[in-house]
Amino acid sequence: MATIATLHRMSAAQLADRIRAGARSLAIVDVRDDDHIGGHIKGSLHFASGTLDVMMPTLIRRLEDVETVVFHCALSQQRGPGAALRYLREKKPEGTKPQTVYILDRGFVGWQEVYGEDTQLTENFRKEIWQNY
């Protein structure tokens, strides 16, 4: 059984490369709550951690045919890894495509430091929100 320590990690650079290459079968799941304001990774799905009790079945159905799933929160230390673990534990492996689940290393904070102002990779970025995070 997966634990936070055994979850795969993906760097911001690796994710950016996959997005730029037009990676198919990739889903980015942003589980930030109120801290979602100020920008997000282009094309990411927002499932706030506070709604996961209700929304997990929807998330599982939506991602059933996706090969690579990347979860993140602000720092990818609590909410992101917790959501990834919960997703792995609740999805039914029978009859589904093989899937690799990652945690975005350093979360959105690390992402925005490098790619926040890159409009090909980040949407609705507001630098002033992240300057002192």
Any idea where the domains of the chain sit in the sequence? 4-119
For residues 101-112, give the mean pLDDT.
96
Assign domain 4-119 to its CATH superfamily. Rhodanese-like domain (3.40.250.10)
pTM: 0.94
Listing DSSP states for the chain in one string gives ---GGGSEEE-HHHHHHHHHTT-SSEEEEE--SGGGTT-EETT-EE--GGGHHHHHHHHHHHTTT-SEEEEE-SSSSSHHHHHHHHHHHHS--TTS---EEEEETTHHHHHHHHHTT-TTTEES--HHHHTT-
pLDDT of 108 higher than 80: yes
For residues 82-103, give the mean pLDDT.
87
Q: Which of the four pLDDT bands, split at 50, 70 and 90, describes residue 9?
A: very high
Determine whether 79 is an active site residue.
no
Q: Which of the four pLDDT bands, split at 50, 70 and 90, describes residue 79?
A: very high
Which pLDDT does position 36 carry in this prediction? 80
Active-site choice (31, 73, 75, 101): 73
